[in-house]
Structure 1
Amino acid sequence: MSSNQGERPVISLLGTTALLFEAPGDLELTTQQRIWALAIEAGKWPEAGEAVPGMNNMMLTFSTPPRDLSALRVRLLAAWDHCSALPLEGRIIDLPVIYGGDDFGPHMADVVAHTGLSIDDIVELHSAPLYPVYALGSHPGFCYLGGMDPRIATPRRKVPITNLPGGAVSIGGVQTGVSASAGPSGWNTIGRTTMSFFDLAQDPPILCAPGDLVRFRVERVIR
C-alpha cells in the first residue's frame, strides 16, 4: 500500500476516449508496482481499449466512451485499494557512458553549479544505483527511471534544447533518463551512451521494459 494513505488518486478525462489515473504520493517503487498491477487488471475490463502505465499514473482508453463515468471511477478506486505491489523481474542492462565534455555532457557545468558538487562526485553518485525502469513514454524507447540520488537533482532547463542527440544521459528534476532518439528536451545532459534504445529492425524494437534495471557504467569522464 502507498505510504500516503490520507491521499486519494486523481482521475481526470482525456477527451472522450480516455482517462488518466494519477496515484498519490511520490516516486516510490511500491507505488509504481501497484500501477503495474492496476494496468493489468483494468486492461482486461470489457470497456477498456488499452491500459498504459506511466510514471505513477495510468492512461485507460475506451473501446467506446463509457455511459456512466461515475461507476467507472468507483471501480478504478476499488481496484486501486485492492492492488498489491507487483514486482517485475526484468533484466539488468549495462549502459556505457562518457560523462562530461561539450560533445557528451554539455550541461554538466549547470549540474555542478546547482548542486555544488564536483564532476567526479556527480559521476559517482549518478552511476552508483541500479535504476528500476518505471515506465516507457515521451518518445519510443524512452525509459522513466526511479532511484536517482537526490543530491544530484537539478531543475529542468528554462529554455529547452531543440535537438538533443539520441543516447543523451540527462537529469530532469529528481529523475534521470536516456534519450532514445534525437529531439527536443528540457533536461540537463551530463553524458552520452552508444546503446540503441529503439530499433525497428530488432525484435522487440524497444530495449527496455518496465521492471528492468539500468546501470550506468562509467566509460570515461571528460573534465
Structure 2
Amino acid sequence: MRIKPAGDQAVTIEFGDTIDEAVSARVIALERSLKDDPVAGIAETVPTYRSLLVFYDPAILNGRDLKAILGERAETAPATDDARARHFAVPVCYQGADALDLADVAAERNIDPEEVIALHTSATYRVYMIGFAPGFAYLGGLPSALHTPRLAEPRQKVPAGAVGIGGAQAAINSLAGPSGWRYIGRTPLRLFDPARADPAFFQAGDILRFFAVSPDEMTALERRAAAGDVIVEAQAPW
C-alpha cells in the first residue's frame, strides 16, 4: 500500500500494480468506508483499477492527517464483496450493424461467431472503474478465449452502448466517439445521462452479466429507454 500526493488538493492510495479482483475489493472497501463514515474535508473519491484518488479541502483537512486517516481506514475496511454489490443483467444485440467486430474476433480466436456470443454471455463481469468518458465502464471477467488485441487503427466513431473487447479487458461504451476496441455487440442501456440523479449508470464494484436480444427486441428496448423507462434494474445476487 502506498499513499502519494496528487497535486495540492488530492492524494492517491495505491493497493497494487495489476488488474486484480482482490486489489479492486480493497479500493472499493476504502471508498465505502469513507462514504459510510465521512471525514470532514474530503470532497470526492475516484476509484480506479488499483487505487483510490481522494480530493480534499486543505483549509479543512491537513494532508498529513489525511494520509494517516486513509492508512488506518485501508487497514481496517473489510476487503470483501458483500450483499451491497449491485448485480445487473444487461441486454446486448450481437447481430447486424451492432456486431461491428464479431466476425473478426471469431476469426482471430479461430472459433465461430456463435461461440463468441456464448462465451461472452456465460461470464460474470466486475466493473473495475468508470473512466475515459463519462459513464464508460471498464470490466474484468472476460473469458481468456476471447482476449483479442485492439484494432491497429482506431475507428473515428463508435456508438454509445457498444460492448467491446480490448486485450484482456471488456467494456461498455458510454458516449459515441473514437475507439480502438473490438466491438461485438451493443446494449440499449444508457450508461450516461446527465438528467439522472446519478448520471453514470454503473459504479465500481457492480457485477453484471450479458444476455443476447434480437434486433427487434433491441429496437423496442431503445424506444423504451428514449422514453425514460427503466430497462435494466439491480437484481438479487446470483
Q: TM-score, normalised by structure 1?
A: 0.78
Answer yes or no: is 1:39 the counterpart of 2:34. Answer: no
- Structure 2 distance, partners of 1:203, 1:45, is 23
SS of residue in 1 equivalent to 2:94: strand
CA deviations on 1:163-191 (whole Å, 9 max, x unpaired) are 21101000112111111111222211111
Q: Which residue of 2 aligns with 1:94?
A: 89
- Structure 2 distance, partners of 1:40, 1:10, is 19
Structure 2 matches for 1:1-223, cutoff 5 A?
9-24=1-16, 26-42=18-34, 44-64=38-58, 73=67, 76-88=70-82, 89-101=84-96, 103-220=97-214
CA deviations on 1:43-64 (whole Å, 9 max, x unpaired) are 6344533222122221111212
Which residue identity lines up with residue 81 of structure 2 in the other structure? Answer: P
Q: What's the offset of the Cα at 1:195? A: 1.6
Higher strand fraction (1 or 2): 1
SS of residue in 2 equivalent to 1:21: strand
92-101 or 50-59, which moves further after superposition? 92-101
| Deviation beyond 6 Å, 4+ runs, structure 1 | none
- Structure 2 distance, partners of 1:171, 1:203, is 29
What is the root-mean-square deviation of aligned Cα atoms in Å? 2.8
Q: What's the offset of the Cα at 1:216? A: 1.0
45-54 or 178-187, which moves further after superposition? 45-54
Where structure 2 has 5 or more consecutive residues not aligned to the other structure, the ranges are 216-238
- CA gap 1:193/1:40 in 2 versus in 1, 3 angstroms: closer
Which residue identity lines up with residue 99 of structure 1 in the other structure? Answer: Y
The percent of aligned pairs where both chains have the same amino acid is 31
- Structure 1 distance, partners of 2:74, 2:110, is 41
Q: TM-score, normalised by structure 2?
A: 0.74
Contact 2:47-2:204 within 8 A present in 1 as well: no
Contact 2:16-2:51 within 8 A present in 1 as well: no
- CA gap 1:194/1:25 in 2 versus in 1, 3 angstroms: same
Work out the number of aligned pairs and report it: 211
Higher helix fraction (1 or 2): 2
